[in-house]
Amino acid sequence: MAQRKMLLEYADNPEARSLEGWKRLGGYAQVESILKTRTPDSIMEEVKSSGLRGRGGAGFPCGLKWSFLDRKSDKPRYLVCNGDESEPGTFKDRHIMERLPHQLIEGMIVSSFAIGSKHSYIYVRGEYMYILRILEKAIDEAYAAGYLGKNIFGSGWDFDLSVHPGAGAYICGEETALLEGLEGRRGNPRIKPPFPAVSGLYGCPTIVNNVETIAAVPYIIAMGGDAYAGIGVKPSTGTKLISASGHIRKPGVYEIELGKVSCEEFLHSEDYCGGPSNGRPFKAVIAGGSSVPVLPLDLFVKTAAGVPRMMSYESLAEGGFVSGTSLGSGGLFVMDDSTCMVRNLWNLARFYRHESCGQCSPCREGTAWMEKLLERLEAGEGKLTDIDLLVEISKKIEGNTICPLGDAAAWPVASHIRHFRHEFEHHVRFPEKIRDPKHNVAAPIPRPS
């Protein structure tokens, strides 16, 4: 099935980058009538009935999250848009912020109106400084045109929107670390509960949503929640952006109708990845950003029961973390048979060790141990017992930390070893080959049948 373009319909159209151009393309058309004729509750109901799931990674239903807001509190409410996007392999929010800034601003206006926020924030990844400028310019345009500011369109609703730069730390994408950063402190995750919906920014009820989630809201209101729920396959409704990279002919950001494209098709169709970049067979796929379990090709395209997998939350999760994975943030990377899975995991482990904020011992110490063990194995200096030790450490981290970064560091370890143990053993059994500079460490190592 060809791409279903909704969010990205105008991504390649330079008109979409200015307010006037966005309006010519139909943007902002419904904002005035929403503010004058709709109630916040009715917008919230549409989002609930749409089945929209958060696109930041966990896939939590957006309308349900909004309904958790502490409505009895007389404190201000905040909407914070998470544009931190630092998960390796994920680069789809950048596409929206860079090319469709007014689509996101429109989403922020409508969503903030629904949850009753009078001041909302877009938190932008530190390395995306040029995007911060794009958003600032677009926000200035929206103020000048009366879409932001006091008493918008005479509705009686005042609304301010600010952008805030991150400082370049992956952990600041975790929602409570992000809130710490917004408040001007080091981005250390908070212990939950309380969840942000009860006590978030400045101790006030706060919703944190991903860029793609917010950008989908105006489309839901325009077509109606039930119509949106008709796109995709329930409970994976709507479209999803997938950022595809690795050994594929056509890396890029693609929009799919959830559950309507098979994983096989996604890898090979000219509408998407376009097959291998250098003619070598694919070996493994990480489907949803670096944190989700890696799958060997055969388990990515078909479940353990032989059912073809589809690109949806449910289908990719089939088999749990033993033979399945997660759609996560949609950061899909594909590895061909020249990839050394030990080196790949070492690379990921280095990242998580570097990004651990250090608050909890299992994550701080465990990520460092895993990195050291993997460095040793990769160099051909490891022991067979190191392999089980790695799994043991990953189990000790999983579920025992303040925030999910610990799990995110543990899952790739467990899954790489579960599916590619023979490669780890190869590094131990044939150290002379691994150390030989002429030996291609990435040469395909046959899986035992």
Ligand X SMILES: Cc1cc2nc3c(=O)[nH]c(=O)nc-3n(C[C@H](O)[C@H](O)[C@H](O)COP(=O)(O)O)c2cc1C
Binding site for ligand SF4 (CB under 6 A): 171, 189, 356-360, 363-364, 401-403, 405-406
CA distance 169 to 123: 12
Contact partner at residue 56 from ligand X, ligand SF4, none, CB < 5 to 8 Å by partner kind: ligand X
| Residue 423 interacting with ligand X (CB under 6 A) | no
Spacing of C-alpha 274 from chain mean position: 23
Q: What is the largest CA-CA distance in the chain?
A: 76
Give the nearest distance from C-beta 273 to ligand X in angstroms. Answer: 23
CA distance 95 to 178: 21
Closer by beta carbon to ligand X, 52 or else 387:
52
- Determine how β-strand 119-124 pairs with β-strand 78-83: parallel
Give the nearest distance from C-beta 355 to ligand SF4 in angstroms. Answer: 7
Contact, 254 vs 3, CB < 8 A?
yes
Binding mask 41-60 for ligand X (x = CB under 6 A): -------------xxxxx-x
Closer by beta carbon to ligand X, 216 or else 301:
216
- For the sheet with 331-336, list strands across it: 252-257, 239-246, 331-336, 282-286, 294-296
CA distance 180 to 188: 7
Contact partner at residue 402 from ligand X, ligand SF4, none, CB < 5 to 8 Å by partner kind: ligand SF4
For ligand X, which residue of 216, 299, 405, 410 counts as binding (CB under 6 A)?
A: 405
Closer by beta carbon to ligand SF4, 148 or else 403:
403
Contact partner at residue 401 from ligand SF4, ligand X, none, CB < 5 to 8 Å by partner kind: ligand SF4
Ranges within 122-181 binding ligand X (CB under 6 A): 170-171, 173-175
For ligand X, which residue of 210, 344, 394, 415 counts as binding (CB under 6 A)?
A: 210
Structure tokens at 90: 């994920």
SS3 119: strand
| Beta-carbon contacts of residue 433 (< 8 Å; ≥ 6 apart) | 380, 439, 441
In the complex, residue closest to ligand SF4 by CB: 363
Closer by beta carbon to ligand SF4, 180 or else 255:
180
How many CB atoms within 10 Å of residue 304?
12
Closer by beta carbon to ligand SF4, 189 or else 330:
189
Give the nearest distance from C-beta 93 to ligand X in angstroms. Answer: 7
| Residue 209 interacting with ligand X (CB under 6 A) | yes
| Beta-carbon contacts of residue 25 (< 8 Å; ≥ 6 apart) | 10, 13, 15, 16
| Residue 34 interacting with ligand X (CB under 6 A) | no
Peptide linkage before 61 cis (omega within 30 of 0): no
Contact partner at residue 359 from ligand X, ligand SF4, none, CB < 5 to 8 Å by partner kind: ligand SF4
- Determine how β-strand 119-124 pairs with β-strand 160-165: parallel
Contact partner at residue 356 from ligand SF4, ligand X, none, CB < 5 to 8 Å by partner kind: ligand SF4
Closer by beta carbon to ligand X, 252 or else 404:
404
For ligand X, which residue of 50, 86, 326, 344 counts as binding (CB under 6 A)?
A: 86
Closer by beta carbon to ligand SF4, 175 or else 255:
175
Contact partner at residue 82 from ligand SF4, ligand X, none, CB < 5 to 8 Å by partner kind: ligand X
| Residue 31 interacting with ligand X (CB under 6 A) | no
Closer by beta carbon to ligand X, 187 or else 251:
187
CA distance 408 to 55: 17
CA distances from 218 to 20, 163, 190, 440 (A): 18, 20, 31, 51
For ligand X, which residue of 213, 245, 367, 401 counts as binding (CB under 6 A)?
A: 213
CA distances from 224 to 110, 141, 217, 219, 233 (A): 14, 28, 10, 8, 17
DSSP 449: -
Closer by beta carbon to ligand SF4, 291 or else 339:
291
Name the phi and psi angles at 86, rounded to 5: -120, 5
Give the nearest distance from C-beta 181 to ligand X in angstroms. Answer: 12
Query: Which burial class, exposed, middle or buried, applies to 63 when counting CB atoms under 10 A from its CB (0-12, 13-18, 19+)?
Result: buried
Give the nearest distance from C-beta 200 to ligand SF4 in angstroms. Answer: 17
Binding footprint of ligand X, residue count (CB under 6 A) = 25
Binding region for ligand X (CB under 6 A): 54-58, 60, 65, 82, 84-87, 170-171, 173-175, 208-210, 213, 403-405, 408
